[in-house]
Amino acid sequence: MTPDAFMAAAKRKGMLEPDVTATQIADWLRSEYGLGNGHAGAIYEIIKDAQASERSVDDKIDEHFTGAKAHWRQSYDKIAEKSEAFGADGMTVVPAADYLGLTRKGKKFAIVIATSEQMDVGIKLKGVEPEGRLEESGTWNALVTHRVRITDPSDVDAELIGWLKRAYAAA
């Protein structure tokens, strides 16, 4: 069977439902198709990857603001809305497992990471001296040069948006 055929069979069998575990899928592959552990694991990875690519960008963004991090969603939305207005070529959000990347023409100019206590905005501003809330990123994240810690929704202000706009222009 091809990977696509396994996907179709998994769909028919109900193995693509959100509550189905990796163990259940592997057990099904072993029992119905006689696959060994390695092959069952490989097919599971193909199924999982296909499911991940089917999720929309909005769904992936939503995942970053679940549970104790949900209260940061409005602050993130404000950052995204302001960033989308920076230029005619537009800002794109690229969700990763641990952060949301803000890009211009495929070039990352900022990242957003939410925890229950704070939301961090990493910004690429090469050659800009850190000042006040605009800290050096240091070991926090190598993707950016600076970091701004957001501990209150009011911290998403004109100063932060100005730094993001400078980074967007440089991207």
pLDDT in tens, the chain (171 residues): 888 888 889 989 988 877 788 899 999 999 999 999 999 988 888 887 776 656 678 888 998 999 999 999 999 999 999 999 999 888 999 998 899 999 999 899 999 999 999 999 999 999 999 999 999 999 999 999 999 999 999 999 999 999 999 999 999
Same domain as 77, residue 65: yes
* Helices 22-33, 3-13: crossing angle, 10 deg rounding: 110
Is the distance from CB of 128 to CB of 134 less than 8 angstroms? yes
Q: Which pair of tokens denotes residue 134?
A: 């605009």
Tally of domains within the chain: 2
Same domain as 157, residue 140: yes
Range of the structural domain that residue 35 is part of: 3-54
One-character DSSP codes across 86-133: S-TT-EEEEE-SS-EEEEETTEEEEEEEE-SS-EEEEE--TTPPPBTT
Same domain as 143, residue 93: yes
Same domain as 45, residue 10: yes
CA angle (122 as vertex; 146, 51 as ends), nearest 5: 155
Same domain as 35, residue 66: no
Is the distance from CB of 84 to CB of 60 less than 8 angstroms? no
Strand order in the sheet with 135-136: 91-95, 100-104, 107-114, 119-123, 146-150, 135-136
Same domain as 99, residue 165: yes
